[in-house]
Amino acid sequence: MRKDTLFDLDEGDEVPDLYALLEVPRDATDEDLRKAYRKRALRTHPDKWAHLDPTSPEAQAKTSEFQQIGFAYTVLKDPKRRKLYDATGSLSDDIIEEGKDWDAYFRQLWTGVVDATTIEQFSKTYKGSTEEQADILAAYRLHDGDLDLIFTEVMLAEVEDEPRFINVIEDAIKAKTVKRTKKYTK
């Protein structure tokens, strides 16, 4: 029996919803897919979890999630693979290969190396952007204002970002874009 090690599936098991992995609707455009992939990949990139013991279950789960997100993007950005996946809900055998060199595969997903430098470069354009503000407010709504959970949800969030996050939230409360919650007020 063949085993898919990327998704830990046995032959015949149902393939996870690739759209759900990227947090996009089924009618997502190529641009939607690209943006969602970048957000999800940055949120789960192994460099963000470098403080964890790489053999810990949490680190292994984060690495697996990062790989699954990259795989989902690769399938959905390719029109033929996406059409096959949409029609059948399954993946062709040539996509999931035993013994595949996943390191080489993930290097191909980005135009260049993903390392601390490229994450820092992206961080400079993302932090303080309207995209980050939208992500902060989406996380605020999702987590009912719980700042700790907002920080886990917004990519690249760090403790020193707290004053900026609070300003974004307070401005949105004043503009009546969001309502003040009990969890936020604490």
Cross-strand bridge partners of residue 4 = 9
Contact call for residues 137 and 169 (beta carbons, < 8 A): yes
Q: What angle do CA 31, 34, 38 make, to 5 degrees?
A: 140
What pTM does this model have?
A: 0.51
Closest CA to 165 of 186, 148, 183: 148
The answer to whether the CB of 146 falls within 8 A of the CB of 184 is yes
Average pLDDT for 9-35: 82
Lowest mean pLDDT among 11-20, 118-127, 148-157: 11-20
Task: Name the CATH superfamily housing domain 3-111.
Answer: DnaJ domain (1.10.287.110)
Nearest Cα to Cα of residue 154 among 127, 177, 181: 127
Q: Provide the percentage of residues in the chain whose pLDDT is more than 70.
A: 77
- pLDDT given at position 128: 93
Could you give the CA distance from residue 103 to residue 13 in angstroms, rounded to a whole number? 25
pLDDT the model gives residue 104: 58
User: How far is 68 from 76, CA to CA, in rounded Å?
Assistant: 12
Mean pLDDT of 17-30: 92
Overall average pLDDT of the 136-147 stretch = 92
Q: Is the pLDDT of residue 98 over 60?
A: no
Least confident residue range of 21-30, 54-63, 176-185: 54-63
Burial class (CB in 10 A: 0-12, 13-18, 19+), 105: middle
